[in-house]
Amino acid sequence: MAVDEPSPVVSTRIDRVFGSAQYLRLWIAQIFSSGGDWLALFAILITADRVGGGTPEASVAYVMIARFLPGLVFGSAAGVLVDRWDRKRTMVVCDLGRAATLLWLPFVDSVWQLVLASLFLEGFALLWAPAKEASVPNLVPREKLTGVNSLSLVAAYGTFPVAAAVSIGLASLATVIERVSAVDFLRIDAESMAFYIDAATFAASAAIISRLALPRGPQAAQQSETRSEGSTRVWAPEQVFKDLRDGWSYIFLNPTVRTVNVALAVGLIGGGMIIPLGPVFAEDVLNVDGGDGFRAFMVALGIGVAIGVAGLTVRQNRLHKERVFQAAVFGAGACLFVATSMWSLIGSALLVGGLGVCAGTVYVLGITLLQESATEELRVRVFAGLFTLVRSSVMLALLLGPALALFLNGLSDKFFDKDVNILGFDVIIPGVRLTLWLAALIMVAAGFLTLASRSWANEQTTSP
């Protein structure tokens, strides 16, 4: 379980930054796997376009659905399974499973094969992620959790630009290698090179994790004991469903866990809409090229997240985590509303950067609060539930955003001719702006829901 007592004065730089040498190794493993995974995602989308025949758009959609669907359907069940397994062994097997799947991808020639491979990759990720997050509090002192979760966010998303740069150079490298006839059987091209490199990163991650001293997990130890007694109680269907029910009950009844899940789930529905609608907003409202505007937003968002993470790392020991978490939820909604009320790309991008600061803060503190609050017995199920909610919210945002923008665009055109006068200023209100304003209000509503959740918890605590 998490270290509750103050840790001794750290004597090495590794301990000061990473909490422990064991976590440093886990972080390096995450760097390897995250960087390779971004690289493979680019290649998978390109491959989907190539094998899609006359309907490449549908092929890409099928692949993206395959990446989201397992989490929606089996995310919570994954937590119950991981609870029964050795966490280290689970992560090693999942990494090796992903490596094997990636080695198959260069030989995929149809959409259904690509969808099947995507399902395998996502299934392994569903098991790996909660096992990793539940293990972190066992590797570092409690007061270091905020800092190491900031580093985890850097590993997960900071490798994106590196992977993008590497993907550009792979085409040239593949051109050189494919001239060697001895490797024709490998089907070398830019995409297959990405798959082979990603497979190697997962193999490296598995090798690193296999040498870590990670806990087996409470139910894994229980299962070992019951096996020695000839019992299969922990795998009985009624026990599995009870564990699943207990996990979700804990998520909704524990005030801190409930607050974090509500904020992240509802907030992502609003904030996630900027991804599909960013290019449209840049073109229809800011009158700039949609691609250029979207890239500017993504750069600003990334810089903002980095600033937020750095600030948390510096001040982690002087933060009231719950208050800062709630303030960041409100701040994210406010930044998105003002950003989409701007008339210039620079002003809008700066506010999107502010959104990134708040979003990074919400994510890191949310993960930290869950690690501190959840018990060892339920921590894996709590994170499995969180990842299920996150995937559901992102999927809903990606699907709802464009549809809502189209609907509101028709209403705005019919009743206001997409233009209103406010205090003597003409304000254009196409559907995309109205949708993003609504998204911002959803994020603010998430902030009020977190306050209501905490208030209800306080009333329950103080009531006789």
pLDDT tens per residue across span 359-408: 888 888 888 888 787 777 777 777 777 777 777 787 778 778 888 888 88
Give the chain's end-to-end CA distance (angstroms, integer): 31
What pLDDT does 164 receive?
67
- Rounded mean pLDDT, 284-306: 80
Q: What is the pLDDT of residues 157-202, one digit of tens each?
A: 777 667 767 766 776 676 667 666 656 656 667 778 888 888 998 9
What pLDDT does 180 receive?
64
Residue 204 near residue 210, CB atoms below 8 Å: no
Would you say residue 9 has pLDDT above 60? no
What pLDDT does 3 receive?
45
What pLDDT does 6 receive?
42
What is the percentage of the chain residues whose pLDDT exceeds 90?
Answer: 8
Would you say residue 423 has pLDDT above 70? no
Of the ranges 1-15, 266-280, 414-428, 430-444, the best mean pLDDT one: 430-444
* pLDDT top residue among 237 and 412: 412
What pLDDT does 52 receive?
67
Nearest CA to 166 among 256, 261, 38? 38
What pLDDT does 2 receive?
44
CA distances from residue 420 to 56, 288, 417, 427 in whole angstroms, order as listed: 40, 21, 8, 5
Q: What is the C-alpha separation between 397 and 116, in angstroms, rounded?
A: 24
CA distances from residue 160 to 42, 43, 97, 146, 390 in whole angstroms, order as listed: 10, 13, 22, 22, 19
Would you say residue 232 has pLDDT above 60? no
Q: What is the pLDDT of residues 100-136, one digit of tens each?
A: 999 998 888 888 888 898 889 888 888 888 888 888 8
Query: Three-class SS of residue 1?
Result: coil
Would you say residue 289 has pLDDT above 70? yes
Residue 234 near residue 420, CB atoms below 8 Å: no
Instruction: List domains and CATH numbers for the chain.
Output: 17-235 (1.20.1250.20), 238-459 (1.20.1250.20)
Nearest CA to 94 among 82, 83, 106, 105? 82
- For 273, how many CA atoms within 13 A lie in the half-sphere containing its CB? 28
417: left (phi over 0), alpha (psi -120 to 50) or beta: left
- Rounded mean pLDDT, 409-425: 72
- Rounded mean pLDDT, 417-437: 75
Question: CB neighbours of 261 closer than 8 A, spacing ≥ 6?
Answer: 251, 385, 386, 389
pLDDT band at 422 (very low <50, low <70, confident <90, very high): low
Query: Three-class SS of residue 54?
Result: coil
What pLDDT does 338 receive?
93
* pLDDT top residue among 314 and 272: 272
What pLDDT does 418 receive?
66
Q: What is the C-alpha separation between 269 and 261, in angstroms, rounded?
A: 12
Mean per-residue pLDDT over the chain, rounded:
77
Residue 133 near residue 285, CB atoms below 8 Å: no
Q: Measured over all CA atoms, what is the biggest interatomic distance in the chain, rounded to whole angstroms?
A: 80
Q: What is the pLDDT of residues 322-336, one digit of tens each?
A: 888 888 889 999 999
pLDDT band at 229 (very low <50, low <70, confident <90, very high): very low
pLDDT band at 219 (very low <50, low <70, confident <90, very high): low
pLDDT band at 241 (very low <50, low <70, confident <90, very high): low
What pLDDT does 402 receive?
83
- Rounded mean pLDDT, 258-283: 81
Q: What is the C-alpha separation between 2 and 15, in angstroms, rounded?
A: 16
What pLDDT does 236 receive?
59
* pLDDT top residue among 227 and 17: 17
- Rounded mean pLDDT, 194-219: 83
* pLDDT top residue among 435 and 312: 435
What pLDDT does 218 receive?
57
Would you say residue 277 has pLDDT above 70? yes
- Element (H or E) spanning 421, and its range? strand 419-422
What pLDDT does 101 receive?
93
What pLDDT does 334 receive?
93
What pLDDT does 227 receive?
46
What pLDDT does 460 receive?
55
Of the ranges 61-70, 346-355, 455-464, the best mean pLDDT one: 346-355
Q: Kindly report the CA angle at 276 between 271 and 279, in degrees rounded to 5? A: 110
Nearest CA to 448 among 270, 326, 269, 271? 326
